[in-house]
A and B are shown apart, each in its own frame.
Chain A
Amino acid sequence: MTNLAAPTLRVILYEGAGSAGLPDGIRAELMLTLLQRGYGVSSVRNGGTLAGLERGSVLVMGRFADQTPPQAMDTSGQVSVHFRDIDGMDAAAALATVDAVREEAKIGKPGGWKPWFPVIDYGRCTNCMQCLSFCLFDVYGVSKENQIQVQHQNNCKTDCPACSRVCPEVAILFPKYRQGPINGDEIDPEDLRREAMKVDISALLGGDIYLALRDRSAKAKSRFSKERDEDKALKERMRCLQKLSDQMEIPAEVLAALPSADQIAAKAAAAKAKAEAALNAANAS
């Protein structure tokens, strides 16, 4: 699990006073290389301004040969500033320099986590708490004001958009999802109709998809264990799970990682109680 509070290294390609300019091709290639590795990188040209940094480390790279590097100041004491001359370096050598500074500053490698988590469109959200009741992984919580919020992004199961399927208002986005409106595309009436149908599927299954999936999986296992045909049992189990996972678009890895039926029931009850408490508190205030 990634530590979202860990410090990061930000790279600045500096081409202002005290640093010669980079050739266009080199600048673009270097930026692309760093971004692909997961580093944020800013291009600062003469007179340019950038967003400040309040924590972590910043590495200023430029062609400082025979010149004095620009002065940078950290008034907060929470930002460390490093300078490196990259005159004559290609993108690979510059990347190695960045990696070395990161290690020297004891900063973890960037990336390693696909940032997949729900984002709430509060313009649509009605605070119904269905997402909180549905999610078994404690991604959701409530604020002091009893408003639903995403509290543990990195608990979310990568590529699983299931909670967005139970949202009656299409208010849950996954920006990296392949299709609209879950990816943030505008919502049209046809989307609302389609999403409502998927909520109906959830209701038909007793309102608890996870329990239904477990139940069907267990039934399939039990039936075929009597026949002593493991291959056939596995195929049937996969078919049952596949059918439901297709409807809810739950990745197979998430299904495989589901806890026991008892644990699911306990988690679902706890989430439901939390949601009801938040709703009652919101109604009372």
Chain B
Amino acid sequence: MKIVLVGVNHKTASIDLRERLAIAPSHLEQATRSLLALRGVREALILSTCNRVEILTCQEPQAAPIEEFLAAYFEIDPALVRPHLYEYQEEEAVRHLFRVASSLDSMVIGEPQILGQVKESYLAARSAGAVQSNLERLLQRTFTVAKRVRSETKIGSSPVSIASVAVELAHKIFGTLQNKKVFLVGAGQMSELAARHLVEHGAGTVFVANRTHERAEHLAGQFRGNAIRFEDLYATAGEADIIITSTGAPEPIFRKEHAQRFLHSRRGRPIFFIDIAVPRDVDPEINRLDGVFLYDIDDLQSVASAHAATRGKEAEMGEAMIEAEVAYYRRHVGSLSVVPEIVALQRVAEEIRRNELDRMLLRLDNRGEALSPAQQAAVEALARGLTNKLLHHPLKAIKAAARAGDAAAVEAIREALGLNLTGRYGFGDPEHDAATASSEGELRAAGESESLENEFPGLDSPDHPSEKGRSR
């Protein structure tokens, strides 16, 4: 079984293609079910955001290519998608997933939405029954890593999405947004998002004016605000502290003389114009007026990018943390993957012990020299002690080799001990799950789980990168 991640993102594909491959949150579960039906796919998760569509699978080596799913589900020519697709396997896939969830691979590094989107995808995949032990372990680790990167670096300290930049600017002008009036002129998606952010941060009344009054009413209803007729635009604008415009008007609808009138009626109280429209709705000359602040889409984006640049250093720290986490994850999975070998070795040793003991007891019995129950128990204890002592060093060596990710050494020890297990365990192990699950069960039954846990500590163990950091 191997972990594979296939996808397109803002770096590899245009928005046109990303739009065609996008899956609405409400359809994620059903899409994941379809993906699970693909030959050889055992576990699956689909992440679909405005900047990326990624498919994470845990699949058999001979599984059908993910392109088949894309072609069938989106009814798209695979040749159209292929040049834009990237594929990561095993450790690379884990690293990419950690980077995505930690927002290090985002268009705007450090943006906070992505982790929530990964969690949404995880919930949808779970509902579709597409998350089993492998992805469960990987995704839980992913969430922890993403939270760690966010909390231990300052990667999310400055706002870098358009809506959050608008909120930050409004804070810089008004101090608090409590009771500030927001006027949405035009009902675009981005202006709606900006207004939503402002309201979430305490803004008061929301006015909405749109050429289609019904649309204005609908949007105003969402904010419990007031719909204004487009003709009454200028009469209401003077009341607003923040005006967000996104109409499709070919000429500016707010000019300097309008702003002067608004300022007069507001006794000089500042007005913040957020112009998201292209072509622009607000005459740039307005920004020259005392008390008027105008930010258009380019301004907002440049602020966001500037913030993003300052995150570069923090991102480097985040990358280093991800590397440590990937290495740790590899060790963890590697350590788990030798469990079947350990069990097999113990089984062989136990078989030998049992056989030799039976043979010896039979021989003594035949000679009429049968052992008493007490003597029999002592001999059994002696044999068990000997096998355990003999197994101690080989087991230690195989665990160490697995932890170091030294597949060749694991293989050599396996050969030397004559273990006849097929396949390679860890990243890319074809029978890893079943073997590990049954082996863990056997070990537990044999009372070995405790010692195994000691040997292969859980993810919050002292050798975890975060624990090391803390102890320092």
A and B found bound together? no
Chain A interface (Cβ within 8 Å of chain B)?
none
